[in-house]
Chain A
Amino acid sequence: MTQGIARRFQISTLAAHLVLIGFTLLALAPTLLVIMNSFKPRKEIFGAPLALPSFETITLIGYDTVLKRGDILHYFQNSLIVTVCALFFIILFGAMAAFALSEYRFPGNRLIGLFLVMGIMVPIRLGTVGILKLMVSLGLANTLFALILVYTAQGLPMAVFVMSEFMRQVSDDLKNAARVDGLSEYTILFRLVLPVVRPAIATIAVFTMVPIWNDLWFPLVLAPGESTRTMTLGAQSFIGQFITDWNAVLAALTLAIVPMLILYLMFSRQLIRGITAGAVK
């Protein structure tokens, strides 16, 4: 009796699944293809690129070459230091500024807010020439600290914007109750307001972390030296060297993909929630 509705519903659902499966395959296949072939001997990479690696012929020869020649672990460590430190400063300084702008009325409040938020639309890359000059004169060229500073500056406008929007919604009663209890403004920010705006922090972490980790431009310009090389730059220059050794290139790519893949699968739920929550705002 309600079959008419039900059947129509099922057909449209089926069509939706087909389209989504198609795009999902398109999204996953290239990455899977590279990972799969990195375990195959050269002959099979070319002879049967679409086949799964078989037990008889599985080989780690590419990984052998890569691990002997490059210091992947060190690059990884550099990237981690830069990303985590920049993220920390962005959230700390961003929260402080956002709290000042959203909580107090003082002359110039709106102006300072606009001044900071303007940075969302100004790409920092256009200041590369000036930044390089500045870092050289500060003696910070070829240091991880230079990268941390640049990424912090780059991430602050967005962080201030998102967090002040969220902080405006924190109940005044909560803050005033704390003031009556004698808490300092700093304690109110760090003990009361920050925990309440945790969703905003998640959103900011997502929006700033990925571009920092993946950036090639500033590592290339500010810190190209071997000791400060980030994962992204390391992989780029490394693959460039081995471009004819297919085993090594596929292995190097796999090594660059896998950490990101693991991190993503671990945090994808929070990440996607962060994006959607941030967008609903």
Chain B
Amino acid sequence: MATSAQRKPIRWHIGVLLAPAILIYTVIMLLPVFDSLRMSLYGKGPDGAPMFVGLANYTTLLTDSYWQGPFWNALWNNVVFFIIHMLVQNPIGILLAALLSLGKLPGREFYRTALFLPTMLSFVIVGFVWKLILSPAWGVSKTLLGSVGLGSWFAPWLGQPDTALITLALISVWQFIGLPMMLIYAAMIAIPDELMEAASCDGVTGINQFFKIKLPLIWPSIGVVSILTFVGNFNAFDLIYVSQGALAGPNFSTDILGTLLYRTFFGNQLQSGDPFMGATIAGAMFLIILCGVCVYLYGVQRRLAYYQM
């Protein structure tokens, strides 16, 4: 792959090829991210001009009685949001992938297309569709549950503080179930048929075959799905903003870091915008995501062996 061009003068084309990507990436993405992080170290001085305050904003965020409550609340909600994704999305995704990769299941293209469809819809559509469906005013959920004799189970889940977050997490799982399904499905169909035949000669069949042969071989894909889910969840904003508004009601019970960042930076009915504290929250999110990614890269991924098949 190396052109033995060490002796030639300067290979201008390398610079020309790299320049646009590096320029746009650096100017539009990296510098603003660092600028935001830098801004979290500043505060409003007495004369109104920005003033370097060190880590004071972070201290404020974690300890000040005004900021502390909302921040821990949003962080905890975000953790719950992520845990629900991991517990519901991945097992169902694996189950669907396993079913789709069963032999030559007729109709699998149809199932794949249908199951992936919600992933293509925007949060706006998903948020509103579910808001309408779960709305007691319309009552379609109650009718549906009633038809299987569970009418009494219905409650305005999105309107109650103790169920709203879980409901939203499940809506998000509903929307994104297609991604883990497809990624794991791809890993499963990459396992050679002969390996499965060897397993059945060894008497390893059915459920055993799944747990002893297939599952160990798809761990890397499950790892990738998990880190993608982590980054996506700690960045989430749209779904909650659309269905519960910037105040992440009822009573902030669905507030996550994304909505807190938006409210803090741009202000809302309750407070005016504070770019410095907004940047601080963004900084905190950055650190959390960085930690997650590091845990994945050094703790998880290294232990996952990528087998040559």
Contact = CB atoms under 8 A, between A and B. Distances in A.
Interface of A: 9, 12-13, 16-17, 19-20, 23-24, 26-28, 30-31, 33-34, 45-46, 49-50, 89, 92-94, 96-97, 99-106, 112, 115-116, 119, 121-131, 133-134, 149-150, 152-154, 156-157, 160, 168, 172, 179, 184-186, 189, 210, 213-217, 221, 231-233, 235-236, 239, 246, 249-250, 253, 256-257, 260-261, 264-265, 268-269, 271-272, 275-280
B28 A121 contact: no
Interface of B: 1-3, 5, 11, 13-14, 16-18, 20-22, 24-25, 27-36, 39, 92, 95-96, 99-100, 102-103, 105, 107, 109-125, 128-130, 132-133, 138-140, 143-144, 174, 177, 182-183, 185-187, 189-190, 206, 221, 231, 235, 237-238, 241-242, 258, 261, 265-266, 275, 278-279, 282-283, 285-286, 289-290, 293
Contacts of B261: 128
A271 B278 CA distance: 37
Nearest to B23: A93
A33 B133 contact: yes
A231 B113 CA distance: 23
A233 B177 CA distance: 24
Given A116-B22, A213-B122, A214-B123, A27 B32 contact: no
A2 B123 CA distance: 51
18 contacts: A13-B103, A27-B177, A45-B138, A50-B143, A99-B17, A102-B1, A104-B3, A116-B25, A122-B33, A130-B34, A130-B39, A153-B29, A156-B29, A184-B13, A231-B122, A250-B132, A261-B117, A278-B186
B36 A128 contact: yes
Contacts, number: 276
A37 to B, nearest CB: 8
Contacts of A127: 29-36, 282
Given A20-B96, A45-B138, 18 more contacts: A24-B110, A27-B114, A34-B129, A93-B20, A116-B21, A121-B293, A122-B29, A124-B32, A127-B30, A128-B36, A128-B282, A153-B24, A153-B25, A168-B1, A216-B123, A249-B132, A260-B121, A272-B116
A53 B39 CA distance: 55
Contacts of A221: 266
